[in-house]
Amino acid sequence: MNQREFVGKTAQLMAAIRAMEHERKEGLFTDPFAAKLAGSEGFAMLEQLLPRDRAYILVRTRFFDDFIMETVNADLNQPWEHLLLEKGYQVTIPSVFLVEGLFLYLEEAQVHSLMQRISKLTAPGSHLGLDLLDRGALKTPQGLVQKTLKDEPPVVTGKSSA
């Protein structure tokens, strides 16, 4: 199994775990879309997990869901840096910025502005996670499918120092 296949399978497994927890009456979290994402393969892998592994993943998921929910919501077309600083963000401590699924909707000047703002807020050792999407692949469904079938992913993800 190559890395791409492995990542896809782990995503299905995590979705199966989220779906299982969603169905519990007093579950730690809800995820109404998880079962569909997991598919039969995800649920088959779930049966092979040890109970302690399931428990770890459930607790980890709840922790990060809560962590994400405490984030700052802002209109990125307006000044937003002060909102981070008010929440205790420290520009001298390395940080991680995740820009996921956003650049596709921005004009080039907006992307540059956002990247400049992030750059001013980050200390050495910080990281930036982002994805870039080939707009041409979105123009027709065939374009997206063809690139995927040729092992030419239309989505390029990366991580680089900010």
Domain boundaries defined on the chain: 3-69, 81-161
| Choice among 32-41, 53-62, 81-90, 133-142 with the minimum mean pLDDT | 133-142
The dihedral region occupied by 39, where left means phi > 0, alpha psi between -120 and 50, and beta the remainder, is left
Structure token digits, residue 103: 């650049």
Beta bridge partners of 130: 99, 158
Helix (H) or strand (E) holding 136: helix 135-139
pLDDT at position 24 is 93
Coil, strand or helix at 135: helix
pLDDT at position 92 is 95
Q: Which of 21, 111, 115, 119 is nearest to 61 (CA)?
A: 21
**Is 50 exceeded by the pLDDT of residue 144?**
no
Q: Which of 18, 46, 8, 1 is nearest to 155 (CA)?
A: 8
| Choice among 8-12, 52-56, 78-82, 134-138 with the minimum mean pLDDT | 134-138
Could you count the other beta carbons within 10 Å of the beta carbon of residue 134? 16
Structure token digits, residue 135: 């707009």
| Choice among 27-31, 66-70, 139-143 with the minimum mean pLDDT | 139-143
**Cα distance between residue 141 and residue 4, in whole Å:** 21
